[in-house]
Amino acid sequence: DAKTTQPNSMESNEEEPVHLPCNHSTISGTDYIHWYRQLPSQGPEYVIHGLTSNVNNRMASLAIAEDRKSSTLILHRATLRDAAVYYCILRDLRGGSNYKLTFGKGTLLTVNP
Amino acid sequence: KAGVTQTPRYLIKTRGQQVTLSCSPISGHRSVSWYQQTPGQGLQFLFEYFSETQRNKGNFPGRFSGRQFSNSRSEMNVSTLELGDSALYLCASSLVPANTGELFFGEGSRLTVL
């Protein structure tokens, strides 16, 4: 499966926008880009996903580069509750059983009051 | 609706023992996947069960095994525990196979091996 690379940690101030980058230079044409986040003492939760076009939902926006080799998760106004580890993963939604669902270490986002 | 439930939440074992962890998925979900989370390796995939069949397995030794029952509840077992097995074990349920559907995670079972 294609691999993703994320910074180990990032810091932001409350009510400011946050841009979390993810590199996936070996992405294939059928790979969807998914983001999950893990709040302290909880299991990961789904944030957003996309294929080619930029996506928005109530939690965040996902900006995907034209060549799809990188993407950015955008939190428009960070709150203290957004402090979490953010995981960027690629998932081939064609199905099949030969896949690896590895989240890696993600990016630890610290939000300062 | 009720979320994914994992039991026990915390447990302590000694080296050489075995442990069984349980995961009850969201009602109607047929896929349960298991993950090991450690500070050094992050969140790693163990295996997935879908409709009582193991669909895929990560790169873990045979000491790690699992099964799924007809009501979709799943158990994972680790035999001959080693110190390095200390970790947070998470399970996730999905309506469709784990590599295609949105994953809903439980809060995890934290295992400490002494």
Per-residue confidence (pLDDT) for residue A19, from 0 to 100: 98
Per-residue confidence (pLDDT) for residue B42, from 0 to 100: 86
Per-residue confidence (pLDDT) for residue B101, from 0 to 100: 72
CA nearest to A35 within chain B: B102
Q: Which positions in chain B touch A38 (Cβ < 8 Å)?
A: 43
- Whether the per-residue pLDDT at A29 is higher than 90: the answer is no
| Residue with the larger pLDDT of the pair A27 and B22 | B22
- Whether the per-residue pLDDT at A95 is higher than 90: the answer is no
- Whether the per-residue pLDDT at A28 is higher than 90: the answer is no
Per the CB < 8 Å rule, is A95 touching B97? yes
Query: What is the spatial distance between Cα A30 and Cα A25, in angstroms, rounded to a whole number?
Result: 14
Per-residue confidence (pLDDT) for residue B97, from 0 to 100: 72
Q: Which positions in chain B touch A42 (Cβ < 8 Å)?
A: 105, 107
- Give A74's contacts (C-beta < 8 A, 6+ positions apart): A17, A18, A19, A20, A60, A61, A62, A63
- Whether the per-residue pLDDT at B107 is higher than 80: the answer is yes
